[in-house]
A and B are shown apart, each in its own frame.
Chain A
Amino acid sequence: MNAILLGILALPILAAAALWAVPVAIADRLAALYGSVVSGVVLIGSLLLWPRGAWASYTTLQDRPLRAVTDVPWIPSLDVRFHVAVDSISMPLIVLTALLVFLCCLYSVRITPRIGRTRSLIALLLVIEAGVIGTFSAMDLVLFFVCFEIVLIPMWLVIDIWGDDHDPAGRRRAATTFVLMTVLGSALMLLGFLLVHRKAGTFDIVQLTNSPVLGGHGVALAAAILIAVGMAVKVPLWPLHIWLPDAHAKAPTVGSVLLAGVLLKLGTYGLIRILVPVLPDATVTIAPYLAGFSTVAIIAGSLACLAQTDVKRLIAYSSVGHMGFIGLGIATLSPAGLRGALFANIAHGIITGLLFFLAGAIKDRHDTSDLREIGRALYARLPRIAALLTFASLASLGLPGLAGFWGEMLVLLGAYNPADALPRATYLVFMVLAGLGTVLTAAYFLRLVRNLCQGDPADHLPAAFAVDLSRIELATWAPLIALTVLLGVWPGLLLHQWGNL
């Protein structure tokens, strides 16, 4: 078991190194195929890690045992261990990561950014994959931090090199803002980890979960605030989200997909994995503020969406809103809220990944992502892509029966009945506001569909080169579409695993 986990951590890194060793001329042609094979193997490996018997059983797991444990000393003088393992919280996220990276590589077999340099792009995607899986499986705070940071420079390069080729200055600014804000956040998070270490004398997440740092003030509170701020930059939580719209809008399609689908999850995962169990009392102290900012994020993100004229920026801002729901779910500290947050995490990864793929496809076909220049009547011009966009929008706005619904419903349920230590009245207000946010979400997605897909085809002549859904796009998106439906009609597939949060 642990060999599989170590394998899927090491394989992408080694594969990336091997890819860089191959001469450019050959590697550029074969990189995407090679990347698909490697990430496909990683995907299979991650599925093998999934607990057998948990696939279809609705039995509630009494405890969440760690599996695939590797625990060896790394830097004894700093008290750092190489401790990795998976449990039911990290497992779905690891599979999601492996799936999205695999789909991105597959997509790149046919469709790559205009700038070329596919070899480096694929290699960087693989490095990102290793970093993210490492973060999701790290059971040592320092190892978590290291893996958290591994992702930064590759993602910076992806945005800086392969980003929007109409706007070199803009994409550089976006990339730099992204990397600098995240690095500041993670440095603050590290301070929080060190404060935890000062109090508890260990970096080991398992030990810290079993004997948490108690007390809701003083050092524990400072640590909780620092960790929460660090994670909030990554999530991103309003008002720390300012790096997000530019980064998503300027990144290439695969970059946007991984940013939204995977990287944002690092923050929420960190909150659930570290903040809530390790600093329980201090988390109760800051939870109402966290919930408040999350609620503001829901409303502000949705309002910002209503004003967007760029399809990629619109989807980026919609992520702010959705991540606000997840933040609110975590801040309720109730089983329903946490489960909702975890579920919404996965659902958002799948649906927003699909949305960014679609936005990228539309952008590639029109050479712009500006709604006004794209024009209307996509139903007539690109019927299949337009239909899929409508589907993904409906899923994202939380239509019952699709994956987006359950997470947000559980979050609202959690906010209706938060943990006992929290002020219920405040959370009721948040719940009402968040409910209002869902209405706004519906409004801007319907506006997007109306502005983009509907309209009289006579006014908007189809461009000559516009090909509807290509085969590679269908192959890439089909798993995401299937999962959206599957998780929509069968949420228990995931939910029962988190039975006793």
Chain B
Amino acid sequence: MTLTWTDWQAIAVPLVLAVGAVVVLLVDGFWKSGSRELRHAVVTLLTSAAILFGLVFVWAQRGGFKPAFCRPAVEGPAECSLVFEPLTAGLWAVLLIGGLGVVGLSAYRLLAADVPIGEYHFLLLSALVGATVLAGARDLATMVIGLEVVSLPSFAMVALRRDRRGSEGALKAFLVSVLSTAVMLFGISYLYGVTGSLYLSTIANRLPGIDPDLRRVAFAAGLFVIVGFAFKIAAVPFHAWLPDTYVGAPVEVTAFLAVVSKSAGVAGLLVLVTAGVAADGSELRTVVAVLAAVTMTVGNLAALRQQEAVRLLAWSSIGQVGFLLAPLAVGDAQAVVGYLAAYVVVTLGAFGSVAVVQRHRPAGLLTDYRGMVRSEPGLAAALIFFLVVLAGLPPGLAGLFTKFAAFQAVIDAHLGWLAIVMAVNVMIGLAVYLRWVAELFRLPADDPFSVDIESPAVAMISLCAATAAVLSVLPSTMFALAT
């Protein structure tokens, strides 16, 4: 393969993130003179600076089109491995905001724990490198590499807590991820065998014209690739690893898994679907639609029975992925990116609030939140707002309109049955979140939660709430991300 040209601006963001990761590791490793607090602050600032650079870059270049690692193709336009285009800009914005939020969350919790700060931020930035590459990837090899670079740091982060639950969670996630990579590589090899190319655009061009005998092979190959992604984003029935991993990890790592890791998987799947591997009207889209229906139903039903806050968020995040898969199944990038944006912001906020409570009440039961509307009105109001956005009801208009866009995409694609399943799931999802909201409102409480909340936490949660409020009043900003 001969590379002919590359627009280096297209890979500026992953490069800067990678350099930032190394710098952070070196700073933490070799600068022993500073106090722990100071090092933590410097590392956090460096990490935030790298991510902020990415956000500024995305903002400045949001309309542009920059291909990288391209070569002329035999037929059609040039084949590129990584492309920065409006869709990439939207996905990167979501991923980087998610990463920044996790850095913010980590700023107020990790000091107390015995987690190595340098390694933690190194792993975080490495995962973001993978996530951004994955969202920009336009060939299958780059995709697999991007996905691996997201996944490997994640296991290490889950295991950071070094106790039984942490190790169990990390091991489960690792085994599942290895399996999913194997499945995906198997599918990719068949796809390559059928079409003779790894480039998505070329595959999309050649798929309609392939030998009818190979149609079924191509379908199976695409199915395997999708299943690989389904493991990664924990779509039912490939979700069993998720709850234990979420509970085993420290809360901010769980937030990372729920926000960055999951968004990266969705981004990859979205690129795969919209780039033409699953063309309009193909059976693969039906597969994704079925996956969406099953995922949201099972996730929400299981979430109904949870008694722990993190487990509830874990299962309900499966339900949310189901809702994300619905517009994805019809290839509506705008709806998917909008949904991701709202989901990322409020999930960060919800995990941020849970982290505050969990720090003082390690059991993490829903009943720990009883009466908070009186004892901690600010935190309770923010948490209620996040939950209501997740449920998609006023006042959480950000959630309502992203669900609305998902419905619209599905209805316009004539998938009536999926729309009905989604309508039922709106109801089940509401029941899930209302249980929690009801606890917050329940008075009088025997032992209401009340502490002095650390100011970084206050800042972080207020920021999430303010962003969600802005998105609620001006929902068009979410949908403008990917156009």
Complex Cα spacing A152 to B433, Å: 14
- Is there contact, CB below 8 Å, between B438 and A172? yes
Q: Which of the residues A117, A156, A161, A195 comes within 8 Å of B434, measured between beta carbons? A: A156
Q: Contacts of B480 on A, CB cut-off 8 Å? A: 77
User: When A149-B394, A153-B393, A184-B426 are in contact, do A190 and B407 touch as well, CB less than 8 Å?
Assistant: yes
Q: How far is the CB of B374 from chain A (nearest CB, A)?
A: 7
- Is there contact, CB below 8 Å, between A180 and B431? yes
Complex Cα spacing A180 to B435, Å: 12
- Is there contact, CB below 8 Å, between A191 and B419? yes
User: When A24-B374, A77-B479 are in contact, do A191 and B434 touch as well, CB less than 8 Å?
Assistant: no
- Is there contact, CB below 8 Å, between B441 and A146? no
Q: Which of the residues A75, A146, A150, A161 comes within 8 Å of B479, measured between beta carbons? A: A75
Q: Which of the residues B407, B426, B483 comes within 8 Å of A183, measured between beta carbons? A: B426
Q: Contacts of A24 on B, CB cut-off 8 Å? A: 374
Complex Cα spacing A75 to B404, Å: 12
- Is there contact, CB below 8 Å, between A78 and B394? no
- Is there contact, CB below 8 Å, between A78 and B416? no
Q: Say whether B150 faces chain A, with CB atoms less than 8 Å apart.
A: no
A-facing residues in B320-347 (Cβ within 8 Å): 334
Q: Say whether B430 faces chain A, with CB atoms less than 8 Å apart.
A: yes
Q: Say whether A69 faces chain B, with CB atoms less than 8 Å apart.
A: no
A-B contact list, 17 entries, CB within 8 Å: A75-B476, A77-B483, A78-B404, A78-B475, A80-B401, A146-B397, A150-B394, A150-B395, A153-B393, A153-B437, A161-B441, A184-B427, A187-B426, A190-B404, A191-B407, A191-B419, A191-B423
Complex Cα spacing A156 to B441, Å: 12
B-facing residues in A251-293 (Cβ within 8 Å): none
User: When A78-B404, A183-B430 are in contact, do A198 and B419 touch as well, CB less than 8 Å?
Assistant: no
Complex Cα spacing A78 to B401, Å: 9
Size band of the interface chain A makes with B: 35 or more
- Is there contact, CB below 8 Å, between B438 and A194? no
Q: Say whether A157 faces chain B, with CB atoms less than 8 Å apart.
A: yes
**Chain B residues at the A interface, C-beta cutoff of 8 Å:** 334, 374, 388, 393-395, 397, 400-401, 404-405, 407-408, 411-412, 416, 419-420, 422-424, 426-427, 430-431, 434, 437-438, 441, 443, 475-476, 479-480, 483
Q: Say whether A355 faces chain B, with CB atoms less than 8 Å apart.
A: no
- What total count of A-B pairs have CB within 8 Å? 88
Complex Cα spacing A142 to B434, Å: 23
- Is there contact, CB below 8 Å, between A188 and B423? yes
Q: Say whether A87 faces chain B, with CB atoms less than 8 Å apart.
A: no
B-facing residues in A186-242 (Cβ within 8 Å): 187-188, 190-191, 194-195, 197-198, 222
Q: Contacts of B405 on A, CB cut-off 8 Å? A: 78
Complex Cα spacing A153 to B475, Å: 21
Q: Say whether A413 faces chain B, with CB atoms less than 8 Å apart.
A: no
Among the interface residues B374, B411, B420, which one has the most CB atoms of the partner chain A within 10 A?
Answer: B411
Complex Cα spacing A190 to B419, Å: 10
- Is there contact, CB below 8 Å, between A183 and B438? no
Q: Say whether A414 faces chain B, with CB atoms less than 8 Å apart.
A: no
- Is there contact, CB below 8 Å, between B416 and A222? yes
Q: Which of the residues A80, A152, A157, A195 comes within 8 Å of B393, measured between beta carbons? A: A152
- Is there contact, CB below 8 Å, between B426 and A77? no
Starting from the known contacts A75-B479, A191-B423, 8 additional A-B residue pairs (CB-CB under 8 Å) come to A115-B443, A153-B388, A157-B441, A183-B393, A184-B423, A191-B419, A194-B412, A222-B416
Q: Contacts of A190 on B, CB cut-off 8 Å? A: 404, 407, 423
Q: Contacts of A138 on B, CB cut-off 8 Å? A: none
Q: Say whether A160 faces chain B, with CB atoms less than 8 Å apart.
A: yes
Q: What string of 1s and 0s marks CB contacts (under 8 Å) between A76-120 and chain B?
A: 111010000000000000000000000000000000000101000
Q: Which of the residues B334, B400, B424 comes within 8 Å of A146, measured between beta carbons? A: B400
Q: How far is the CB of B418 from chain A (nearest CB, A)?
A: 11
Q: Contacts of B443 on A, CB cut-off 8 Å? A: 115, 117, 161
Q: Contacts of B394 on A, CB cut-off 8 Å? A: 131, 146, 149-150, 152-153
